[in-house]
Amino acid sequence: MKDNLQLSKKLLKKIDKFIIGISSDLSESKDTIKDFREEMKGNLIASCSELLKEGYSEEESFSLAVNKFGDSENLKEDLTSAFKTRGKTNKVSFFITISALILALAFLLFHNMFEKKITYSTPHALEYATSVSIQQGIALDNNKIENLMKEYKKEVKLVAIYKVEDGKSILKNVYPSSEDSSEINKLSERYLTSSIACQNPSSEQYFIKIIENRIDTHNIGHYLWVFFFLVYWVAFAVWASTYAYYINNLNFGWLLSFVLFNILAYAVFRFTNKLKLRNKLILD
């Protein structure tokens, strides 16, 4: 970094000493304090340069530039208080952001594992009375199937038998018969459902839809990782916007970028901000 030619080394040292003095009690990360000091130094150098051009001496320029910020002790207290508030806000936002990201990744990674744990447990006797009977060309024993449905009512909610004719599935039987056949599709969406394809000795095609008496939870992992990823995305956008606001660089363009491009926009923001500060120190 090159020193501004209009300012003497003595004045630059005074500026550095002033900035270090007012920021010495800040309990922030090194990067945060460094960014603040660079921003403050750039502003003071710019102010002093303008005042020098107006004919003020270096002593007068420094005093006038510093006085714009108020009394140094009050400024130090205000900065400490402001950074504490900012620190708490940032910590909460950052905690929510990281927690949501970890949960999103966890549910994404283990989504397949959750699905594999789901098993379809059609009772063997019920399967034999339906699909096996069809395959062997044996007429379905409706009374037997109805009794099996009562016996296994805790496990199985509904059994529907379809015959495939001309590429269309025609509903032939519903067990228990008291069930409303128009509700089959709705029940299939809500409860765990399995299908068994079979054909009789005459090569007629059938398939049996078995709806278990368990809520279908195989998509929960998917919904959860999407939900937590959205929470992360929003939380990070808020955190990045808060940071930009505190260093007086937030505008609609950056706000929209944080929302749309998230961490990529933040990386570009940090890079351009540092570049801007360096250019300011060189050119002012």
- pLDDT over 90 at 102, yes or no: yes
Residue 114 has a pLDDT of 55
Average pLDDT over residues 143-169: 92
**228 residue type, one letter:** F
Quick one: average pLDDT of 87-99?
Answer: 81
Residue 174 backbone phi and psi in degrees, to 5: -130, 130
Q: What is the model's pTM?
A: 0.51
Please give the torsion angle defined by the CA atoms of residues 7, 11, 16 and 18, in that order, rounded to the nearest 10 degrees. -130
| Per-residue model confidence (pLDDT) at position 161 | 95
In terms of Cα–Cα distance, which of 278, 231, 255, 254 is closest to 107?
231
Supply the pLDDT for residue 2: 40
Domain boundaries, the chain: 9-109+227-283, 124-216
Q: What is the pLDDT of residues 68-86, one digit of tens each?
A: 877 777 777 777 776 766 6
pLDDT tens string 201-221: 999 999 999 998 877 666 677
Please measure the distance between the N-terminal and C-terminal CA atoms of the chain and give it in whole angstroms: 12
- What's the whole-number mean pLDDT along residues 156-178? 92
* Helix, coil or strand: residue 191: strand
Q: What is the DSSP string of 40-80?
A: HHHHHHHHHHHHHHTT--HHHHHHHHHHTT--HHHHHHHHH
pLDDT at 282: 57
Asked if residue 177 lies in contact with residue 147, where contact means CB atoms within 8 angstroms, the answer is: no
Segment 5-23 shows an average pLDDT of: 84
Please state the length of the chain: 284
Q: Residue 234: exposed, middle, or buried by beta-carbon count in 10 A (0-12, 13-18, 19+)?
A: middle
Residue 194 pairs in a beta bridge with 210
Q: Give CA angle at 85 (90, 91), nearest 5°.
A: 20
Give the pLDDT of residue 121: 58
Q: What is the mean pLDDT of the chain?
A: 83
